Amino acid sequence: MESEASLTSDQLRALDKAHLWHPFTQMRDWCAADHDPLVIVSADGVWLQDSDGNRYIDGNSSIWTNIHGHRHPVIDQAIRDQLDKIAHCSALGFTNDTAVRLAEKLVGLFPPDTLSRVFYSDDGSTAIECACKMAIQYRQIDGCPERSAFLAFDQAYHGDTSGAASLGGIDTLHRRFLSYGFDTWHVSGMEQLEQLSDEVLSKLTAVIVEPLIQGAAGMKTWPSGMLAALRQWCDRHGIFLILDEVMTGFGRTGTMFACQQEEVIPDFLALAKGLSGGYMPLAATLTSETIFEKFLGTIAEQKTFFYGHSYYGNPLGCAAALANLEIFAAENTLAKLQGKIALLSQLLDEHLAPSPFVGEIRQCGFMAGIDVVRDKKTRAPWPAENQTSAAVCREARQHGLLTRPVVGDTIVLMPPLSISGHELETAVRALAKALSTLDTADD
């Protein structure tokens, strides 16, 4: 620990630039001499601290993962206690108590006899891959191997492994690798879905959607009732519904899961980001007993689901996830959240909506997308190469807020659910101050 602490911020930055390759990042800009990336060294609650001692509100919950704040004593202790027992063991040939207890708790969050089976993996992408492979293999076992294609939505984001990326609908992120994954049709919404030919329908195994709101697309909300309509459409055509709740899960939309708001139960549910409270890479794919039973048979029948990752059911991750759920109950997180959701609306209205550089603001529960525009009336965007919203986020750091835009000029505000009203106001005001530095003469 001492030797790490003895590296200066500049030494750390130099080593980073020498050895790291950052995700979704143009590394020429990153490594440029005039770029001084923050080095985050510690955190407390919703506050992140850098190597120079500056503190920032974690405005996007450390890329949509953190739920109850950093260093929450209950999760910290759960991981320490688990460390005293075992950090990791395989799930091949035996099981572990922590993974078993978590599975029971997860299943218990849904009505009895709906989602009864839990398959663990490491992150959102692998939870999606797992659901897709189950959906394909189910049809093979069922004698309809031609039903191997997926239906996904324009602008969708389901992760970056090849299979998950092929479901994606964001050109910048996905076009390059579209042909290397699953066979996927994309539609814009329910209207286009209703117009699909019987020939296309006969090839589909499943539809996948981010329920209520598409995150990476720019926090785009679906019309109310869309999810329930999609469930009905799937039932009408015998097509599975995969819900990607990697972002929306664990309270973000105001309920534990987004699907609860339209009383929809999917055939497959992918959970990751917030599952461990934002502490550990842990994911789960939940499915029904009916689907599970399809895979039962003798070895010779070759129905076994040959899929899995080394850290399946990792005890440290599962211990964090159990503590995450415990806190929801102990702290009444969801009940307390309702007032914060209303406060967020009010603050966005008061401080951001009037800005001449804010176009539409979309809010879903405790998540908001703020469109940064050049002209409020026409909603004309800034030139993409200006990276205006990224510049606004950099400016917001001066006022104590860390967040970043998604594709396009949409700034995400999505703090941990544990944020106080006062901290939430600080976060929104920081964005307002940063926006006020924009000037149309700049471009």
Q: Which residues bind ligand PLP (CB under 6 A)?
A: 64, 123-125, 157-159, 210, 215, 244, 246-247, 272-273
How many Å is the Cα radius of gyration of the chain? Answer: 22
Min. distance of Cβ 435 from ligand PLP in angstroms? 25
Q: For ligand PLP, which is the closer residue by CB, 123 or 409?
A: 123
Q: For ligand PLP, which is the closer residue by CB, 164 or 358?
A: 164
Q: For ligand PLP, which is the closer residue by CB, 402 or 432?
A: 402
Q: Which long-range CB contacts under 8 A does 224-232 form with residues at least 24 apart? A: 224/262, 225/262, 226/189, 226/190, 227/258, 227/259, 227/261, 227/262, 227/264, 228/262, 228/263, 228/264, 229/190, 230/190, 230/193, 230/264, 231/262, 231/264, 231/265, 231/266
Min. distance of Cβ 143 from ligand PLP in angstroms? 31
Euclidean distance between CA atoms 262 and 248, whole angstroms: 14
Q: For ligand PLP, which is the closer residue by CB, 273 or 351?
A: 273
Min. distance of Cβ 127 from ligand PLP in angstroms? 8
CB neighbourhood size of 376 (10 A):
14
Single-letter amino acid code for the residue at 149? A
Note the Cα 391 to chain centre separation in Å. 23
Contact 245, 252 (CB under 8 A): no
Min. distance of Cβ 158 from ligand PLP in angstroms? 5
Min. distance of Cβ 422 from ligand PLP in angstroms? 28
Q: Looking at residue 197, what DSSP letter applies?
A: -
Helix and strand numbers (H, E) in the chain are: 17, 17
- Burial of 31 (C-beta count, 10 Å sphere; 0-12/13-18/19+): middle
Q: For ligand PLP, which is the closer residue by CB, 187 or 347?
A: 187
Q: For ligand PLP, which is the closer residue by CB, 159 or 278?
A: 159
Contact 320, 75 (CB under 8 A): yes
Q: Is 150 left (phi over 0), alpha (psi -120 to 50) or beta?
A: beta
Residue length, the chain? 443
Q: For ligand PLP, which is the closer residue by CB, 39 or 152?
A: 152
Residue nearest to ligand PLP (CB): 124
Give the helix/strand (H/E) hosting 42: strand 40-44
Min. distance of Cβ 161 from ligand PLP in angstroms? 7
